[in-house]
Structure 1
């Protein structure tokens, strides 16, 4: 009988990276769509705005791509495309409704958590460009420029804070893993040394036994057990005579 193995059971397809991509993208998509739908219900004209619809379609398309793409087969930077597309999608939503610009927090946090400063700068640049596109009909007055700087600097501060925290977490995890490996090696060495001592102790032809402070035999070699016909599975009993 032929056995069929699901491709989704392959650990190379569903790994830590793939689960992380799904988690971030789906949480962002559900949050964005839910908020956008609520705002659209309050203002039905948004449903006819081209930028609003384009932003929703782009975010949903990115989420669909995240589910069907085997991320474990691609380098880590390949998944960076998703938060960058999300930034563009939020920018399109912000063109229709400026309050939706707060959703930039999600993709920026995603980039800062799993990538570095360079990728964060790329995300901030795209965010700034989308802000410039949004502000173009109003003109680039001092108030608009100040608003743009506040948005970019706030997101940059958030991203840098997350990057520092993520680096500390990774360093702590690495240190913990090294300490666990060191303890494991030490335990193996102790067990190996104990086995060697027990082997030497058991190979001596003279009857020997180890006795606790309470007068109980805790270990005895083969010669001792044979001499007194002791059961090796239970050696803890009070001694009744001399111990050789």
Structure 2
């Protein structure tokens, strides 16, 4: 079908040129049409054009199309019979056509055919030398044109074939590269070590399945609602966004098996060893860094179990050894021991003392002194750390969050558990406050050495009956269930238990359509006692 359209295009261009010439001849030299051969030439062009449009060329052999330029050449030969009208230049059309689509023998054959029409039908004025000169000039000109066009067409086809082969090679290379990339991704995803590539601007370029599972991300890299939080120690202080592994790697810090604790979305502690490795970037592009995160929780647990086992065995051995050594010492003090018994008791005593020293050494290496889990905690730092973590959620909800009050509010407590309290209350405030709402956190000290943290929102609020049941396990208000707001109904009970463990209190005041106020009170006297 493409060949058919091309033949139509060539013929219509030629026909349009002839029609334009016929119009001009009619306007300026109408007497030319008194020549029957000129009229026959014009009619032949029109007939050839009609037949060209009617013939399905894609169903015929390729050589059949050569008939069209030859008929056009014959029509032009008829018009050369008109005296004073030089239309022989139109032979350029059929020669270019033959040179473009056919081989050089076809071009030379067309020139011979044109020369014959010139001899047979052209107006033969002038001497035989003049006629021969015109014929040779025509043959040489058309021959040069045909050869030039043919060479250009061959080069064009060769270049097109070369480009096509290059395109096919590029496509095959692209397919192979894509297949190799898929294999590399499958291999990287199969690794148990978490890998992530981050730019200097903090943008994640790639991550594997281990990282997605560890940090709570979906297959597209977006954070899930149960995203993990990094801490500086187990049950320690949550790291601010600027000190997380990715932030430090993006900032160009070199990390080498640095320990980080992660509290994952499933509520489990994980010990991580984080290392960074700079990667080559394309051209002068942004610097990129590979972050390697190894989960060593199982290894630490095994070490801890081994230490506990050693301590237990050593402790169980120490008591009987002490009894053995003690009774041997009592026997050695007796004076009625027969024969070699004193020497044998001396050997037993020496061996027992060496065993006792060995067990004592093991106990010293594996013992862990029980420590009070409470230490000095600044509630202001806990609140600001939680606020920084929830800032993206609150911003996406088009809400505002303010933290005001005491610049430092120190109590004795467990920083990790206190962070859980603030996280839970902030999460509730964000969930139950509509878009455009306001959330505030105030910190203050009251008489009686009490540290007070108040979380206020102007959200949906609760009725008095709901406030009375808010600490019941699995309790959720009817309005929250109808609105489809997620939750389990366990968070407030956990909050009260943590506050009670810190010898504190929690009060809730709420009104439907106005909002909710949660007040936390913690004693500060324990800090002063610890400092005495």
* Aligned partners of 2:189 and 2:209 also within 8 Å: yes
Q: TM-score w.r.t. structure 2 length?
A: 0.41
Deviation at 1:96, TM superposition (A): 2.2
Q: Distance in 1 between matches of 2:143 and 2:189?
A: 68
In structure 1, the residue corresponding to 2:81 is in which secondary structure?
helix
Q: Structure 2: where are the runs of 5+ without partners?
A: 224-243, 248-259, 261-273, 275-292, 295-532
Say whether 1:44 aligns with 2:30: yes
- Are 2:251 and 1:239 equivalent residues in the alignment? no
- Residues 136-189 of structure 1 show CA distances to partners (whole Å, capped at 9, x for unaligned) of 855871111111000111111111111111111111111111111111110110
User: Are residues 1:155 and 2:155 paired?
Assistant: no
Corresponding residue number in structure 2 for 1:81: 67
1:120-145, Cα deviation, whole Å (9 max, x unpaired): 01110111001111358558711111
Alignment of 1:92 with 2:99, yes or no, is: no
User: Residue 3 of structure 1 aligns with which residue?
Assistant: none
**Alignment-derived partner of residue 179 in structure 1:** 166
Q: Determine the C-alpha separation between the residues in 2 that align with 1:226 and 1:96.
A: 90
1:64-116 per-residue CA deviation (whole Å, 9 max, x = no partner) reads 01111111111221111000000000000111244011111111111111112
Question: Does structure 1 residue 67 correspond to structure 2 residue 53?
Answer: yes
Higher normalized strand content (fraction of residues): 2
Which blocks of at least 5 consecutive residues in structure 1 are unaligned?
A: 1-14
Greater shift, 112-121 or 230-239, is seen at: 230-239
- The 2-side partners of 1:45 and 1:232 are apart by 84
Structure-2 change in CA distance of 1:164 and 1:227 (3 Å):
same
Structure 2 CA distance for aligned equivalents of residues 16 and 26 of structure 1: 15
- Would you say 1:58 and 2:65 are equivalent positions? no
| Aligned residue number for residue 132 of structure 2 | 145
Alignment of 1:18-37 (within 5 A): 18-37=4-23
151-160 or 218-227, which moves further after superposition?
218-227
Mapped contact 1:131–1:148 kept (Cα < 8 A): yes
- After superposition, the Cα gap between the structure-2 partners of 1:133 and 1:139, relative to the gap in structure 1 and judged at 3 Å, is farther
- C-alpha RMSD over aligned residues: 2.3
Query: 183, 204, 214: which is aligned to 1:196?
Result: 183
SS of equivalent to 2:176: helix
* Counterpart secondary structure, 2:206: strand
Displacement of 1:216 in angstroms is: 5.8
For these two proteins, the number of residue pairs brought into alignment is 229
Distance 1:57 1:224 in 2: 80
